[in-house]
């Protein structure tokens, strides 16, 4: 299995449990690894034969900007569901972070892996 990845996809959204967090937009950052087979795309040199990372990015930006989750855990689950179901990706590893959420830390967040590496 090959991996198509997206690094540091930064998106503004409402995220958090505190009242002040519910009234502002904060940045979340995604690092996404998506298991796929790139052999056909490499042979044909055609975007139609690969996982289109631009299409994935646009879909996730749209989804996250419109969301208002309280927890990064919930957001991470929904993001991996979208990638697996809508883009037919059998395996996903997602690092979702919330920069500046804890004083003294660059960021905090979760890393989840869903599906089977084939």
Q: 9 pairs with which residues across the strands?
A: 30
* Phi and psi at residue 59, to the nearest 5°: -65, -45
Active site residues: 98
Q: Which structural domain, as residue segments, surrounds residue 11?
A: 2-115
Bridge partners of residue 30, in order along the sequence:
9, 96
Instruction: Provide the pLDDT for residue 100.
Output: 87
* CA angle in degrees (0–180, nearest 5) for 75-77-82: 95
Domain count along the chain: 1
User: Which residues in the chain land under pLDDT 50?
Assistant: none
Across the strands, what pairs with 91? 35, 115
pLDDT for res 117: 82
User: Which tens digit of pLDDT belongs to each residue from 7-41?
Assistant: 999 999 999 999 999 999 999 999 999 999 999 99
**Structure token pair of residue 35:** 């298991």
């Amino acid at each position: 299995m090959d991996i198509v990845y997206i690094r540091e996809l930064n998106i503004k959204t409402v995220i958090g449990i505190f009242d002040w967090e519910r009234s502002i937009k904060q940045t979340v950052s995604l690092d996404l690894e998506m298991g796929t087979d790139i052999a056909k795309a490499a042979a044909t040199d055609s975007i139609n034969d690969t996982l289109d990372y631009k299409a994935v990015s646009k879909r996730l930006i749209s989804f996250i900007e419109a969301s208002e989750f309280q927890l990064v855990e919930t957001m991470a689950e929904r993001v991996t569901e979208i990638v697996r179901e809508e883009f037919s990706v059998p395996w996903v590893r997602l690092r979702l972070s919330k920069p500046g959420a804890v004083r003294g830390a660059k960021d905090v967040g979760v890393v989840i892996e869903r599906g089977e590496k084939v």
